[in-house]
Structure 1
Amino acid sequence: MSTGLDLRLAPTAAAVWTVTLLGLLVGWGTAAATAVFALLAVPLVWPVSRDRAWARGVLVVLLLAGVAAAGMAVRSYRAEHHPVRQAAQHGERLTARVTLTSAPIPLRGPAFGTQRAQDRALVRAALETADVVGQRVRAGGSVVLLVPTEQWRELIAGQQVTVRGKAAPPRSGELTVAAMQVFGAPTEVSSPPGWQRVAADLRDGLRRTASAELSPAAAGLLSGLVVGDTHALPPEVEQDFETAGLTHLLAVSGANLAIVCGAVLVVLHLIGAGPVLSAAGAGAALVGFVVLAGPEPSVLRAAAMGAITLLALVLGRRRSALPVLSASVIGLLLLLPELATSPGFALSVAATAGLVLLAPRWAAALRDRGVPIGVAEAIAVPLAAHVVTAPLIAALSGTVSLVAVPANLLAGPVVAPATVFGVLATVVAPFSGWLAGLFCWLAAPELEWLVLVADRAAAVPGGSFDWLPGTAGGLLLAGLVVVGLILLRGKRFRVLASVALLLVVLVLVPVRSVVSGWPVPGWSMVACDVGQGDGLVLATGRPEEAVVVDTGPDLERSAACLDRLGVRRIALAVLTHLHADHISGLTGLLGKFSVGAVAVGPLREPAWAMKEVVRDTRAHRVPVVQMQSGQRTSWPGLVLDVLAPDPALARTQTAEDANDSSIVLRATTPAGRLLLTGDVELPSQGRLLASGLDLRADVLKVPHHGSRYTTPGFLHAVRPGTALISVGDGNSYGHPSPFVVDTLTRAGTRVLRTDQEGDIAILPGPRGPRHVSRGDPLRAVDR
């Protein structure tokens, strides 16, 4: 019997995927032309297909590609000519009756100014009716709703609601007829289907039990492992999983389903169940898991991939796995064509292909070389999954991880028991709280191990490196991977590769930070490139200790900057004011570094921001202190004088005055005097000028990212030799203002911008402060 691969359906899957992409990205006309071409070619191939195998394969490709293209043409045409789409093109306001197809998903990501991403949630829904220009339209189609998180939090899939909002065109590559900005609560809310309510209650039971029995990190991780719900996972832990290449554990994937179904098969085998009963039990577990997690496209995708993984790894039929994978891809794309543009779908298909095609072969090779059974599989499975998905990840993120494989090797053995115990806790929670707690307690050691692995892997210096992003980068890495796999078939090349790997791990990675010239010795201040926000670091003169002034708009970039600088302890974190682009990185710092205290100004607005600061600092037992004009704080190599704000003003200010109530600091350092101004605007600048304070400084952190709201008089009073502007590349605010930059330049000030220089270090020079940009030590310039 042949043991080769059965590739017959693979070209058909590729063709269906291609024509689906054409329909999504190019339009219904191209899809229709493709369908006509494919179906007209069928009669030409039909006579030859009776005698030739290759012709039969071409015939299947033409038929299914034609069907897929025709279906895409119809769907794309309906979406493009939908009356709600026409209204969305003009930004009209709509009233619509919809059925929710997903629960509200709070948005995550960088937040700016007074806004935070978590205030808004995304809900997918099926359109029932809509009032368009005074007319009631009864037409189907899917819509995306952007809604207030707090007012929609309790809704679940299956409920019908009435919404009012402003319609906008959807993103490219979707069959969604419109997106709607909704700013109020839904009305006429119906009850959900019974099975949806049961599933929601089970998920709530798991969250309650886990939060009562486990640490916050372990509790959030358990919900992520079981049902893909990461809302309770501390953001810094989620970031560690992403850096360590363990993000797939936080989403419902084929691996989750394979674990659950595999456990059911093992139990049924132990009690002597036959093949039919075992198959029925595994199928019931699969359906039950889909109901529990919610029948959304990502879960249905995971169900298909989990079934394939079980087929290959549990039932051992590797030869049949590729046809089943290809058939699943075809079926899923015909049913849910928008998966064609989903990165998650592409990663799932690639990972499943690696698991069923490469992992068994590599595990067998390792066993032949004396590696014990079990250990060989533990090595082969994550290695195969990482090798086939690395090009896609590189194309999407522009990075290549060196720690993903070892992190997955260390994490792999405990994922299955943690998942099984979590599912058992979920199932029994409605009937027995103590038994659910017992299962959570049994899962605790595995969960804490996963958190530890992610934390240590994310902290490895040089654990990932930048790569060419986009299609070109992905194709380049894929080519290198293919060439490498071919070369590794020879023993001599395997020895060379092993030596090269040891050199990378033992020599190149540790030395990388040394030869990069960063951090530059003797720095006094670093303006971190945190995007459209502020993130400053001041050396205190003590080893591995610093003061942080603002933490940027996201969780990762400020913490990564401190890691690069070798900071281990934050003596004080100053939040100049409570806007998201200055405070959103605080959670990431509290989770990674020892923090002595967090300082805020007398204005505690916006209220949501102060609430989050209090919540996060309490969780890490860090005190919150108030900073106001007249205070002085000092360390061996740093003195901070607070020049503003006046606490008396806070009694008359509101959230709209947050920028102007920024803490203004004068820092005395070995590099000279620095003036750090937060986002102060014209009124506060006027008060500082009128106060008679000595505002002169060698280095000025330009207010409000270089916005136009800075007076020439204030800049003249400071008379800086160097001006730092912390600003995001290509931001939509027009920062920095050309007027401000020109005013500084004409005065002889050197203007440095984080969007152009990256991290910028200020350090002592023979004639005053000099600066060094990260990654370019030769650019050190004396003032």
Structure 2
Amino acid sequence: MIARLDLRLVPAALAVWAVTLTGLLAGWVPAAVVALLALLAAPLVWKAVSARPVARGALVVLLLAGVAATGIAVRVHAVEHHPVRLAAGHGERATLRVTLTSAPTPLRGASFGARRAADRSLVRAELQAGELAGQLAGHRVLAGGAVVLLVPTAQWRDLIAGQQVTATGKVSPPRAGELTVAAFQVFGPPADVAAAPGWQRVAEDLRDGLRQVSADVLGPAAAGLLPGLVVGDTGRLPPEVEQNFETAGLSHLTAVSGANLAIVCGAVLVLLHLVGAGPVVSAVGAGAALVGFVVLAGPEPSVLRAAVMGAITLLALVLGRQRSALPALSASVIGLLLLLPDMATSAGFALSVAATAGLVLLAPVWSSALRARGVPIGLAEAIAVPLAAHVVTAPLIAALSGEVSLVAVPANMLAGPVVAPATVFGVLATVVAPVSTWVAGVFGRLAAPELEWIILVAERAAAVPGAAFDWPSGTVGGLALAVIAAVGLIALRGKRIRLVLAVGLLLVVLVVVPVRTVLSSWPVPGWSVVACDVGQGDGLVLATGRPDEAVVVDTGPDPQRAAECLRRLGIRRISLAVLTHLHADHVSGLAALMGKIPVDAVAIGPLREPAWAMDDVARDARAHRVPVVPLLSGQRAAWPGLVLDVLGPDPALARTQSADDANDASIVLLATTPAGRVLLTGDVELPGQGRLVSSGADLRADVLKVPHHGSRYTAPRFLQAVRPRLAVISVGAGNTYGHPSPFIVDNLTRAGTKVLRTDQEGDIAILPGPQGPRYVARGDPLRAGES
């Protein structure tokens, strides 16, 4: 018999979450209004408590919502009026003294002048003091606040959380929906580096020991996976393996989650039970293991969130899932949001809450139902747990990524049984490594078969045709899938409906998916411009009017994706390859492109920085006997179906710019095509946009390639000068930069512009329409639309 659910704290948790989101997304004023309303309503509800017991619950909701609203209003107000935030709006330079709250994490995707994406790292820090330049020159800041640093990996890789450093760079607006004062782009090494606290150094030594043991006794893929399973360190995980994990729905295995902590603490509980320890000792031991794991992984918000969710899982296992888990989960949501309100907008937090709810509410019911039908208990758990987690998280994942995985459940069923032993062996290797590398190596070897099995499952699952299918992203897509899932779960209670759905699923797997994989409507006839989905970077193709020939503008961060896009379009010659600027996310695909398709010339702007990139371009061009030509403001190039006018940058500026200014030195092109005027802007930032507007040039265009992947570095007056019908944002799915900025997307949408994103649409073709340009996304003619 299923126990009745205790829902008393659920409304309070939802209310706290809602008011926290209000403050983060709408600003401090709406949050303050909510706090005031809660304060005024509380006395009225208090009077009704004695007469109506239900009012007691309403009073709790009001009080907690008022506390959350007050707290978030105060915090958001402080952040919005922080002097560094004001400087960030102008892209000023600054020298900041910060305390690192996380270790540098190499980025995958775009790069800010680095050779590879991983050459730039993200670091979270707490501001201690700073000195601003530019319009606020000489202004000193003696205030706290969270900042995010983008730093050179090679010069910052050895730093750990807890160290104080001084850095000089450019401040920029932070990602929307966070209590972050500013993002800080740093291009040099840290200065005045202070030692980290002792416990942080011990934890880093343990993590380094795990990495070293893994490298010594495991293959490259397994050596990168084991630290990911244990402490969420994926720095050495090969990119192809990481991509397989994403497609197969196994990425959660390489992130510190409640599951990691539940495995470790559960192993401690089992061990203590075997030696006859009582409940008090067992509870203390499990708690100590939890604290130790948090120290080992680093007390970052994601780890603290995982600690709470892991504790909930253990509590559910010990006290009875359905009666105890939901109040514990609700209380944890309230506590975490009051302590760390940034989590309200975190996809990881939402996924953790949903997965934990599914684990403790749905999985037991489904497992019991399977056991009642004769399924062995182990197999029943193996089916119910990943299925429950996938059902409740699929709407969120679809809203974020725009796709639904068809292989996630079977992949998790196959990989799940070996995750726990691999994790436990990894933790043992970590703990033992400082004492005996030989014993640690034994534990590493014991984990090897499990790791290789997980890697094999991910590889095979990702290779299944149609492993994932597209789904509308955003709130509407997520809600639609949630409704379908809820209706489906209710419908599955009937035997006939289960039979019909089973037959339908077989038809999809055996007929629809293979047919969709084989048949393709790409390329769409008559295209003028195609924005290739090259990940977190730019790669655009413009038809010249000659058969099988095109002009390419930027080649993306990946050595192959731009070449594959051109192959799909049937391009056999590139008359001109324009590199808007020499950053890795715009030039890394050039060598592969020249190796597969003849290129007549490569064009670059007046700024030849960073030097390493210029050297690479020159070397690759010489190897393929391709001339490198300058492209300067005022020049024009023409083909039968294409005219390119160069609007920027001003060659005179190159003499005063450095590698730090490469974005703003981007070549800006106005392309006249059969589909209309198309403005291609590279990564030009606020100063460059201002110069374009002030130049008096006619910037009006039917289509705009939004600057810098839709970053906050886009001026509203620039968008007003362009007034595009279609706006294309070339951006990578799940990038860590917050691209595109919701502010820019909202600004464009409010102006009546249709916003298209390569992370959601894939390759995007722009072609002439009866009333202006229209677009078609690759492989999905239903996405065609008029501007």
Q: Cα gap change, 1:665/1:681 in structure 2, threshold over 3 Å: closer, same or farther?
A: farther
Q: Cα gap change, 1:452/1:402 in structure 2, threshold over 3 Å: closer, same or farther?
A: same
State the secondary structure of the residue aligned to 1:374: helix
Q: Cα gap change, 1:408/1:738 in structure 2, threshold over 3 Å: closer, same or farther?
A: farther
User: Which residue of the partner structure matches residue 60 of structure 1?
Assistant: 60
State the secondary structure of the residue aligned to 1:380: helix
> 1:499-554 CA distances to partner (integer Å, 9 max, x unpaired)?
2222222222222223445699xxxxx99653655599xxxxxxxxxxxx997424
User: Which residue of the partner structure matches residue 347 of structure 1?
Assistant: 351
Structure 2: gaps of 5 or more residues: 525-529, 542-552, 570-576, 603-610, 649-672, 690-696, 703-727, 731-755, 766-775, 783-787
Does residue 40 of the first structure (1) align with residue 40 of the second (2)?
Answer: yes
> Where do 1:71-82 residues align within 5 Å?
71-82=71-82
User: Which residue of the partner structure matches residue 454 of structure 1?
Assistant: 458
Which structure's relative contact order is higher, taking Cα pairs within 8 Å and 6+ residues apart? 2
Identity %: 69
1:296 pairs with one of 273, 295, 300: 300
* Cα distance in 1 for residues equivalent to 2:780 and 2:147: 48
**1:239–1:555 contact (8 Å) kept in structure 2:** no
* Cα distance in 2 for residues equivalent to 1:18 and 1:758: 33
* Cα distance in 2 for residues equivalent to 1:81 and 1:682: 42
State the secondary structure of the residue aligned to 2:180: coil
User: Which residue of the partner structure matches residue 98 of structure 1?
Assistant: 98
> Where do 1:253-268 residues align within 5 Å?
253-268=257-272
User: Which residue of the partner structure matches residue 27 of structure 2?
Assistant: 27
Q: Cα gap change, 1:599/1:506 in structure 2, threshold over 3 Å: closer, same or farther?
A: closer
How far is the alpha carbon of 1:215 from its aligned partner? 1.1
Q: Cα gap change, 1:560/1:73 in structure 2, threshold over 3 Å: closer, same or farther?
A: same
> 1:382-430 CA distances to partner (integer Å, 9 max, x unpaired)?
0000000011111111111111111111111111111111111111011
RMSD: 4.8
**1:244–1:407 contact (8 Å) kept in structure 2:** yes
State the secondary structure of the residue aligned to 2:377: coil
Q: Cα gap change, 1:394/1:485 in structure 2, threshold over 3 Å: closer, same or farther?
A: same
User: Which residue of the partner structure matches residue 126 of structure 2?
Assistant: 126
* Cα distance in 1 for residues equivalent to 2:106 and 2:484: 38
* Cα distance in 2 for residues equivalent to 1:298 and 1:776: 37
How far is the alpha carbon of 1:445 from its aligned partner? 0.9
1:219 pairs with one of 205, 220, 223: 223
TM-score, normalised via structure 1 length: 0.74
* Cα distance in 2 for residues equivalent to 1:490 and 1:678: 69
**1:111–1:584 contact (8 Å) kept in structure 2:** no
* Cα distance in 1 for residues equivalent to 2:406 and 2:515: 15
How far is the alpha carbon of 1:315 from its aligned partner? 4.8
Q: Cα gap change, 1:409/1:560 in structure 2, threshold over 3 Å: closer, same or farther?
A: farther
Aligned residues: 665
**1:487–1:493 contact (8 Å) kept in structure 2:** yes
**2:228–2:255 contact (8 Å) kept in structure 1:** yes
> Where do 1:104-123 residues align within 5 Å?
104-111=104-111, 116-123=116-123
Q: Cα gap change, 1:31/1:177 in structure 2, threshold over 3 Å: closer, same or farther?
A: same
User: Which residue of the partner structure matches residue 192 of structure 2?
Assistant: 188
Does residue 328 of the first structure (1) align with residue 286 of the second (2)?
Answer: no
Deviates more, 1:171-180 or 1:458-467: 171-180
State the secondary structure of the residue aligned to 2:237: coil
Partner amino acid, structure 2, of 1:316? G
User: Which residue of the partner structure matches residue 372 of structure 1?
Assistant: 376
Partner amino acid, structure 2, of 1:46? W
Q: Cα gap change, 1:729/1:212 in structure 2, threshold over 3 Å: closer, same or farther?
A: farther
> 1:360-394 CA distances to partner (integer Å, 9 max, x unpaired)?
11000000011101110000000000000011111
Q: Cα gap change, 1:163/1:114 in structure 2, threshold over 3 Å: closer, same or farther?
A: closer
Q: Cα gap change, 1:559/1:415 in structure 2, threshold over 3 Å: closer, same or farther?
A: farther
* Cα distance in 2 for residues equivalent to 1:600 and 1:558: 7
Q: Cα gap change, 1:482/1:559 in structure 2, threshold over 3 Å: closer, same or farther?
A: farther
> 1:9-52 CA distances to partner (integer Å, 9 max, x unpaired)?
00000000011111111111111111111121111011222243
**2:268–2:286 contact (8 Å) kept in structure 1:** yes
> 1:559-604 CA distances to partner (integer Å, 9 max, x unpaired)?
9869999xxxxxxxxx999973477579xxxxxxxxxxx9799xxx
> Where do 1:602-613 residues align within 5 Å?
none
TM-score, normalised via structure 2 length: 0.74
State the secondary structure of the residue aligned to 1:72: helix
> Where do 1:548-559 residues align within 5 Å?
552-554=556-558, 557=561
**2:105–2:122 contact (8 Å) kept in structure 1:** yes
How far is the alpha carbon of 1:134 from its aligned partner? 3.4
User: Which residue of the partner structure matches residue 398 of structure 2?
Assistant: 394
Does residue 202 of the first structure (1) align with residue 160 of the second (2)?
Answer: no
Does residue 162 of the first structure (1) align with residue 166 of the second (2)?
Answer: yes
Partner amino acid, structure 2, of 1:530? V
**1:660–1:681 contact (8 Å) kept in structure 2:** no
Q: Cα gap change, 1:392/1:51 in structure 2, threshold over 3 Å: closer, same or farther?
A: same
Partner amino acid, structure 1, of 2:153? T
User: Which residue of the partner structure matches residue 429 of structure 2?
Assistant: 425
State the secondary structure of the residue aligned to 2:205: helix
* Cα distance in 1 for residues equivalent to 2:84 and 2:764: 49
**2:95–2:166 contact (8 Å) kept in structure 1:** yes
Partner amino acid, structure 2, of 1:40? L
Does residue 270 of the first structure (1) align with residue 274 of the second (2)?
Answer: yes
Partner amino acid, structure 1, of 2:330? S
> 1:244-281 CA distances to partner (integer Å, 9 max, x unpaired)?
11110110000010011111111111111111111111
> 1:183-241 CA distances to partner (integer Å, 9 max, x unpaired)?
22222211111110000000000001101111111111111110101111111111111
Partner amino acid, structure 1, of 2:13? A
**1:467–1:473 contact (8 Å) kept in structure 2:** yes
**1:210–1:219 contact (8 Å) kept in structure 2:** yes
**2:147–2:180 contact (8 Å) kept in structure 1:** yes
**2:631–2:646 contact (8 Å) kept in structure 1:** no
Does residue 141 of the first structure (1) align with residue 145 of the second (2)?
Answer: yes
